Structure 1
């Protein structure tokens, strides 16, 4: 394992309370500010320091993925459930499963898998242990609770073939690895522990898988990003100039890592907290996947 402090640039000093969910989608970097319910994009090849606000909602916005057959629309982990976010900022609810839980909760991070399903986690507002869940939204819009008993379900990330999903339970310092049947979306066996963080090492937050199959993890509270080999051993640790990195995203055409950070819980924040950061790295990533609804049946 190597550890280094690599020159890091502040791409956007947005003073965001809780920036999260960074993804590369169709030549743009898309991210959210969860607690303010805002969605932003940075266009590649333009002035990356000037984000464009795509939506502002009156409920927390955890993460989005593009909808394959509706340009400008998103599937969103938002408020207490899953909704379609239209280009004009309206919400079309698919389900609000967190309305049916015993404690008040909200949706958190989420991502689409290579098969076109959308996976998103939840958490209780008061951090009640075991109150969080992982949900899967199938192409027909059905929302299924896949796992429960989590506390802060975070950072779903998939391998390129869609057969492996990594999931963080931030509050307990654990990264889980789940085998997934790409045809059905069902988990194959139970989750296994991929990595367990010790006290003082930070808490795993947003994650992404690079083009070599290695896992990058934002380490909340540790001012660091970690890279793990698929066999679970720690390859590298990057130090970042903000205590609470929240998500990581690799540019698909340029060896650059983009990191969102939070001001939430920071006593004396600098420009790097509540920001989008970038750092050169020796490997690239892939474009985010879309949620794809089934095509209507055709008749001969």
Structure 2
């Protein structure tokens, strides 16, 4: 049972460079809007263009929808912290933010891993791929990633929920992160810190290893393709995903896979900003602007629509 006497928390946000906070707010708001619009367009494009309704783009639609939710759990409070000198969040709101942020973050790791496995099958097992990765299997895998993220975090929520917060209510961060919250608890948090570290190592490093293993097989298969054009085409289908994997896991390992996460340094805070707003903003550009198949499908759909309208006239 929670014995906390704290009813709200104060988020310190970014105490450095206060004179630039309004500029940061404008930049952050712009990036947030772009992230929402960009990721929102991906499921719509996939839903309306049958040519893109394949496992690869079903996974991508899941990732895009997740990115919209993921960035929304943190960025509004971040923007508020840049405008106000004192940003508060109620106790239960803080717990909810923590739960959804890490649930969606864990789900993202599973979706990214599923996408790597999909690319492995498509490139390394092309003849068996249509039989293995059907749309039904893809949908079931997508649902499993969401379900897995929820189940994992529902068992970790009591770590924070049951801790007493009876003295300081100032969280040295711009959102309700595990480490800064553990640092102000009125109890011995060593077991909680150990569990948090072990969870980070288990889910971050294990999924990262699976992604790397998939790409070891993928790259070795691509290098054996005799045609230079064939190698280029095969590699182009997975290079976008490899970029996202590198950015995402680089940030997560830097922030969470370390002995002490109680007091975030300015460096970890900056990386956390990049992970919660920059990466969701870049994903649509990485996956669509650089993707020839998506651009050709969109052009074809627009051309077909124009032709239909002319015929109607």
Structure (1/2) with the larger strand percentage: 1
* Structure of greater Rg: 2
Q: Which protein has the bigger helix share? A: 2
Category of TM-score, reference length = shorter chain: under 0.3
**Structure 1 length-normalised TM:** 0.27
**TM-score in terms of structure 2 length:** 0.26
